[in-house]
Each structure stands twice: as structure tokens, then as C-alpha cells.
Structure 1
């Protein structure tokens, strides 16, 4: 009797398992962001905006970006970040995807 009861309980558990898996799969949250991404214009951003915009860009590097921008009449491409003192080509290569996500370059007026 006890064996039959255990068998019935286990069979009910096993038969309802796929239903739970299907419900969980359907209600999984979407990975797409629901908020529009606002890019930072590298030729207009101030110190506060640049600081922390990308991992590795703190206050000193943000100051260096602004100094480079002012002395070179703005950035023409993101590749120019490699020429900024304290950044370098290695930083740009390692963070290229994130830099493209965060920054945009508009011509300086």
C-alpha cells in the first residue's frame, strides 16, 4: 500500500514537471534593455560626465581627455583616445566595444 502511494505521488510529480518548465521558460524576462541609451558626445562632455562613463576613466583620465580635446580642436574618431596621455592603445583596444557603446563624436563648432 505504501509503495503504491509513493508510486502515485512520484508519477504525479514527474508528469507535472514539464508543465512547470514550460511556464518558467515563457515567463523569463527579456534581456533587451527597455530604456533608450544616451551616448556621450566626446567633443562636448564635461569632467563630471566623462568621469566614470567607462570603467577605467576616472577624474585624471577625464581631465586628460578634455585637455587633448582642447589642444587638438576636438576628436575626429574614437581611435584618437589612444593618443590621450594616460589612456593609450592598449586601453582603447581592451575597451573598444564599451567605448563605442558609450561615446559618440560630433564635429566641434
Structure 2
């Protein structure tokens, strides 16, 4: 028969396991910066702090109208994206050169 202490430890360890598995996709996704030239609106909203679906859709619309981004800083041309938001997210996003994706 399990003691109360052992039952508590088992419950805590299993809860931590479930919690860590639930966060795994987020941590794996965040490990590789998001390519702003290929990301979907839902990916932008999920990864970038301060970017909801509306801003994410504005980024996609800007990219569709103006072509690929040459730099992360070019995102500031999108309405609602400022220097502070870019600074907060600079480690989460990147621009992948077209040559890198075709090789």
C-alpha cells in the first residue's frame, strides 16, 4: 500500500511530466527562429510577443504586396509594428536567404 507521501510524489512527478510534454511543441518551435518570409499568420501570432492575428495578417498582406523581407527591421514598415516590438522579438524571428532554402 502506498503511503501518502509516495502518492504525493508520484502525482507531482506525473504532473510535471504532463506539463513538460504539453510545452514541448512550443519550446521546439521557439528553438528555431521563425522565417518571416515563409511564416503563416498563425505562426506569427503564436511566436511573436505583442503580435495577434490582426497584426500577423497585416504582415502577410505587406509581404504579399511588397515581396520578401530583406531584413527583420523591414517589418517596421508594417502598420502596428514598431521598434519596441521588433526588439522584443528579434531572437524569435529571422530572414532566411532564398539561396539557403533552395540548396
Scaled by the length of structure 2, the TM-score of the pair is 0.59
After TM superposition, give the deviation of residue 52 of structure 1 in Å: 2.9
Q: Which residue of 2 aligns with 1:18?
A: none
Of residues 52, 55, 76 in structure 2, which corresponds to 1:58? Answer: 52
Is it true that 1:91 corresponds to 2:85 in the alignment?
Answer: yes
User: SS of 2:50's equivalent?
Assistant: coil
The whole-number CA distance in structure 1 between the counterparts of 2:41 and 2:82 is: 19
Structure 1: runs of 5 or more not aligned: 1-34
Segments of 4+ in structure 1 off by > 4 A?
none
Unaligned stretches of 5+ residues in structure 2? 1-26
Please identify which structure carries the higher helix content. 2
Cα shift readout 1:16-69 (whole Å, capped 9, x = no counterpart): xxxxxxxxxxxxxxxxxxx76111110000111111312210001000111111
TM-score (norm 1): 0.56
